[in-house]
Amino acid sequence: MLALRYYLDLSEADIADTLGISRGAVKSHASRGAAALRTHLAGSAAAGTTEERR
């Protein structure tokens, strides 16, 4: 869902039509996916597994 929304820059309506789900479901899935990604990235940063940019 996140790849469709942000990488391919599809609208919520386009994603909903393509997948045959409601716009509300698209919003919900995108929100949950973004939250999971934030949690994962925060855990990686806390564990010191990300490289710092110089």
For residue 50, what pLDDT is reported?
Answer: 53
Lowest-confidence segment of 17-26, 30-39, 40-49 by average pLDDT: 40-49
User: What one-character DSSP code corresponds to residue 7?
Assistant: I
For residue 53, what pLDDT is reported?
Answer: 52
Token pair, residue 1, equals 């869902």
| Average of per-residue pLDDT across 13-28 | 96
Residue closest to 8 by CA, chosen among 28, 30, 24, 31: 30
Q: Name which residue leads in pLDDT, 40 or 48.
A: 40
